[in-house]
Structure 1
Amino acid sequence: MAENMVTKAPLLGEPLAVELMNTFYLDRGSVQEALDDDAAVAAWLRAVADRLAAEAGLEIEHLAENEVGTAAGALRTLRDALRRLASEMTDDPRPPVTAPELARPEALAVLNASARAWPELAWPAAGEPARLYRGSGTAAEFAVQLIAHQAVELFAGPDRARLRPCLAPNCPLFFVKNHARREWCSAACGNRVRVARHYRRHQAARQD
């Protein structure tokens, strides 16, 4: 039954490295872990399978819990490292939701050790040349390597300047500010901010 599990992590169409950083969700105002066991990790990888396939030809749509193995721990460790680096890059004022003791050198070491995927030129006889990433190990382990490689490109590229923490109440997510008027990770967070502002104005009016 676990193979049919649906991920609880929000998927907002962000770069894969940001989607991994966002593997938390709100439940009654409390931040919850979306990669809490192997089944949850397998469900998240299946949820982003089309994007992994597009970048690397990975076929993990039917990835089972028992195929995740050591990649589950590596994926969570990479997620924590990426959040630590993103927090520093964006001057994130929010308290960390995971690994508060993780220092930048340790986070960098995790990222660089994980980013073992490499690009190759693929040129089928009946098709156009294209870049595909290659890696080692199981499909799940390769997925970790690919996401780490993409995180290096994100943090060292132009999107670094557009990376933002979502400052809506209790939101733990990051997003890439892809247009000038975007302030929040999602419309739902924008609505929560407006409701909170309305409540504060209403309370202030009652106290006058």
Structure 2
Amino acid sequence: MERWLALELASTIRHDGDGGVTDDLATAGETTRWIHDQDSLLPAHIRTGELAADEDLRQGIVELRAAVRALFARAVSPAPPSPADAHHLMPVDRALTHLNTTAARELIAPQLEWPHEGTPAARLLTAQNDPHTGLVATLARAAVDFLSGPQREQLRACTAPRCVRYFVKSHGRQEWCKASCGNRARAARHYRRHHASP
């Protein structure tokens, strides 16, 4: 299954397995761990091995996540949004402004490198010396790319009981983000059918 950085960011709020919700960005240490886990999805100019989140970076990523989840809710509409934030979504106009402002914090330019005896390759050049700003701007640009791309049409909020994830639908009848959510939804449906009041 293809991984998208914007979807990974939105999925840092998830069902904890006990009927509650957990936040993978709850502390600076957990945020650092999440950043390092995204290394393969980040461009080369973002060196996650050197990044350690402080409270300002954590808060910047959390605010961006709130904007992304609000825009994901708009993308899945008229279907219901994730229950994790359905009652306290950031207004769409504010989410758009926040996303676009954050994406513009780092100015980057593609540069062509072509070794004398090699294959040409592109790399990104940034004038920004702050790796925290570069990371948050990269996450915002990933959300812009995701929401303006074809995968937005397949974005869904998982309908399984207690699940709060968004996912990209990979086949025609997919209703849940993963098999365990499908099992939980079928079990809940079975329970309701067999325990319905007469």
TM-score, normalised with respect to structure 2: 0.83
- 1:21 and 2:10 are equivalent in the alignment: yes
Contact 1:135–1:145 (Cα < 8 Å) also in 2 = no
Number of residue-to-residue matches in the alignment: 191
Give identity over the alignment, percent: 34
Task: Quote the Cα distance in structure 2 between the aligned partners of 1:193 and 1:101.
Answer: 25
Unaligned runs of 5+ in 1: 1-11
Separation of aligned partners in 1, 2:156 and 2:36: 26
1:1-16 equivalence runs, <5 A: 13-16=2-5
Instruction: Give matches, 1:32-47, under 5 Å.
Output: 32-47=22-37
Alpha-carbon deviation of 1:168?
Answer: 0.8
In 1, the alpha carbon distance for the partners of 2:87 and 2:129 equals: 27
Q: How far did residue 73 of structure 1 move?
A: 1.0
- Structure 1 distance, partners of 2:20, 2:112, is 45
Displacement after TM superposition at 1:137 (Å): 4.1
Moved more, 117-126 or 107-116: 117-126
Q: Deviations over 1:33-64 (max 9, x none)?
A: 22111111111101111211xx3342213533
Shift of 1:82: 0.6
In structure 2, the residue matched to 1:123 is: 113
Q: Which moved more, 1:109-118 or 1:122-131?
A: 122-131
**Correspondences of 1:102-113 after superposition (within 5 Å):** 102-113=90-101
**One-letter amino acid matched to 1:43:** R
**Higher relative contact order, structure no. (Cα contacts within 8 Å, ≥ 6 residues apart):** 2
Q: Report what 2:190 is aligned to.
A: 198
Aligned to 1:186: 178
The one-letter code of the counterpart of 1:88 is R
For the aligned residues, what is the CA RMSD?
Answer: 2.5
* TM superposition score normalised by structure 1: 0.80
Q: Does structure 2 conserve the Cα–Cα contact (< 8 Å) formed by 1:24 and 1:32?
A: yes
- Which residue of the other structure, out of 164, 170, 181, is the alignment partner of 1:172? 164
Quick one: distance in 2 between partners of 1:151 and 1:171? 22
Distance 1:181 1:97 in 2: 25
Give distance in 1, aligned partners of 2:124 and 2:171. 29
Counterpart of 1:86? 72
Contact kept, 8 Å, 1:81 with 1:110, in 2: the verdict is: yes
Could you give the per-residue CA deviations for residues 64-115 of structure 1, whole angstroms, max 9, x where no partner exists? 34xx452211100000001111102212424452881621111111100111
Residue in structure 2 matched with residue 58 of structure 1 by the alignment: 46
Describe the shift of the 1:98–1:196 C-alpha distance in structure 2 as closer, same or farther (beyond 3 A): closer
Paired position in structure 1 for 2:131 = 139
How much has 1:14 moved relative to structure 2? 3.2
